[in-house]
Amino acid sequence: MARPRKPVVRVKLPDYVHRTVARGHEYFTYQKGRGTKAAGPRTRLPHPSDPAFWPAYYAISNTEAPKPAGDTFAALIAAYGGSDEWHKHLAEKTKVDWLRYLGRIEKAWGPLAVADLEPKHVVALRDKFGDTPAAANNLLRCLSAMVSWSVLRGWRTDNPCLIVPKLNRSVPYARWPWSAIEIVRDKAAPELWWAAAIALYSGQRQGDVLRMKWSDIRDGLMTVVQEKTGTNVEVPIHRDLGVVLATIPKRSIFILTSSNAAPWTKDGFRTSWGRMTEKLKFDAGLVFHGHRKSAVVMLLEAGCTDAEVCSITGQSRKMVEHYAQQVNRRKLAASAILKWENTR
């Protein structure tokens, strides 16, 4: 199994900025005279991929930022990343996600003029990521927010993103049938099976599963503060999940680690999971998130109420009721056929 990719600094660090790696995470600090008797104070900086890095560096080093080369997307991204709109009005989770999309936008359009943006350009960028509609739609949302910000500051007079529709996401995630779950258990690398088992028996999202720590388990409960919604749920540990947890070596503060004993990165896990499903020839509709749907359906089929399912998965009652209708229809249909067969 391929090792997950570690974060890589792709820019030359400016003077007095130092990179350290601890427990699989990168940290950047500003310190003059590091390692000498004349060492100055050490100040934490954002990651260089964060638009806030350069404004923070110029402030702490007391140097002047270079003038941007025209009203380009590269300049706009830097300005937006240093704005109050970014720092004060966006949730931390949103900023983490949008950094990835801003990187894609800069890669595609960095040297191009913001004023020249047309709807056809937005459509082309959206469709470039059409294989993952959710990511394409989130990129569109990020771009639109930034362009709206630029309109109010004179970069251009309108936002062409507003007339570009989002991609259709009507195709639901498929639930994992038990036969497929057994194949992952028996044939996949144990590090991937552990992740699948935790997702299945806890009903949590991939990001929350990868972030779970051993300290989150106490008195037979697994405590999760969901990254997407901030919802706090306490999931009683299923008997079968307890068996799986007992087999996982404690190689980190995080429950799940890759084969090199380092905490998973999201990209690393996604890559390894994709290669595994391709190797085992799973249908393309079977994605990791489908374990969450499987958990909901299995709970409902076991006779759990909508409220009981919500207390475990942290989902809205509306979403669980939707699944419940599907399960109830199957039960009613089975009962109807049985009655039909018992009549003459």
Q: What does the alpha-carbon distance between residue 197 and residue 216 come to, in Å, rounded to a whole number?
A: 16
What angle, 0 to 180 degrees and rounded to 10, lies between the N-to-C axes of helices 92-109 and 119-128?
A: 110
In 3-state terms, what secondary structure has residue 269?
Answer: helix
173 or 135: which leads in pLDDT: 135
**Structural domain includes residue 9:** no
Q: Across the strands, what pairs with 223?
A: 234
Region 174-203 average pLDDT: 94
Same domain, 152 and 188: no
Count of CA atoms in the C-beta half-sphere (13 A) of 263: 21
Longest dimension (CA), the chain: 97
Last residue of a domain, one of 163, 193, 226: 163
What range does the domain containing 238 cover?
Answer: 178-335
Count of CA atoms in the C-beta half-sphere (13 A) of 209: 25
Contact 214, 250 (CB under 8 A): yes
CATH of the domain at 216: 1.10.443.10
Same domain, 29 and 136: yes
State pLDDT tens for residues 24-79.
778 889 998 888 888 888 899 888 767 677 778 888 888 776 555 568 999 999 89
Q: b/e map of 5-35 (b: 16 or more CB within 10 Å)?
A: eeeeeeeeeeebbeeeeeebeeebbbeeeee
Region 233-246 average pLDDT: 94
295 or 174: which leads in pLDDT: 295
Same domain, 215 and 328: yes
Domain tally for the chain? 2
Contact 114, 155 (CB under 8 A): yes
Same domain, 154 and 190: no
Same domain, 97 and 216: no
Q: How many Cβ atoms sit within 10 Å of the Cβ of residue 323?
A: 20
Contact 219, 181 (CB under 8 A): no
Query: What token pair was written down for 282?
Result: 């799973």
**Structural domain includes residue 330:** yes
Last residue of a domain, one of 163, 193, 222: 163
Q: b/e map of 142-175 (b: 16 or more CB within 10 Å)?
A: bbbbbbebbeeeebbeebbbeebeebeeeeeebb
**Structural domain includes residue 299:** yes
Q: How many Cβ atoms sit within 10 Å of the Cβ of residue 94?
A: 15
Same domain, 193 and 158: no
Q: What percentage of the chain carries pLDDT values higher than 70? A: 92
Q: What is the DSSP letter of 257?
A: B
Same domain, 43 and 145: yes
pLDDT of residue 322 exceeding 80, the answer is no
State pLDDT tens for residues 64-117.
765 555 689 999 998 998 898 898 888 888 888 899 899 999 988 988 899 999
Contact 16, 32 (CB under 8 A): yes
Query: What token pair was written down for 27?
Result: 């940290």
Q: How many Cβ atoms sit within 10 Å of the Cβ of residue 131?
A: 9
Angle at 263 between CA 258 and CA 265, to 5 degrees: 90
State pLDDT tens for residues 119-169.
999 998 998 888 778 888 999 999 999 999 999 999 999 999 999 999 876
Same domain, 153 and 294: no
Total residues belonging to the chain: 344
Same domain, 53 and 146: yes
**Structural domain includes residue 6:** no
Region 197-210 average pLDDT: 94
Task: Please name the amino acid found at residue 248.
Answer: I
Region 163-180 average pLDDT: 81
| pLDDT score of 172 | 63
Last residue of a domain, one of 107, 128, 163: 163
**Structural domain includes residue 172:** no
pLDDT band at 240 (very low <50, low <70, confident <90, very high): very high
Same domain, 153 and 223: no
pLDDT of residue 250 exceeding 70, the answer is yes
| pLDDT score of 5 | 47
Same domain, 156 and 183: no
CATH of the domain at 44: 1.10.150.130
Please state, rounded to an integer, the average pLDDT across all residues of the chain: 86
**Structural domain includes residue 5:** no
pLDDT of residue 186 exceeding 90, the answer is yes
Q: What is the DSSP letter of 72?
A: B
Q: What does the alpha-carbon distance between residue 327 and residue 297 come to, in Å, rounded to a whole number?
A: 7
pLDDT band at 170 (very low <50, low <70, confident <90, very high): low
pLDDT of residue 321 exceeding 60, the answer is yes
Give the dihedral of Cα atoms 57, 58, 63, 64; nearest 10 deg: 150
**Structural domain includes residue 11:** no
| pLDDT score of 9 | 44
pLDDT band at 8 (very low <50, low <70, confident <90, very high): very low
Q: What does the alpha-carbon distance between residue 277 and residue 270 come to, in Å, rounded to a whole number?
A: 11
**Structural domain includes residue 2:** no
Find the radius of gyration of the CA atoms of the chain. 24
| pLDDT score of 344 | 61
pLDDT of residue 330 exceeding 90, the answer is no
In 3-state terms, what secondary structure has residue 343?
Answer: coil
Task: Please name the amino acid found at residue 32.
Answer: K
Q: Across the strands, what pairs with 323?
A: none
- The contacts of residue 127 (CB under 8 Å, 6+ apart) are 136
Same domain, 183 and 322: yes
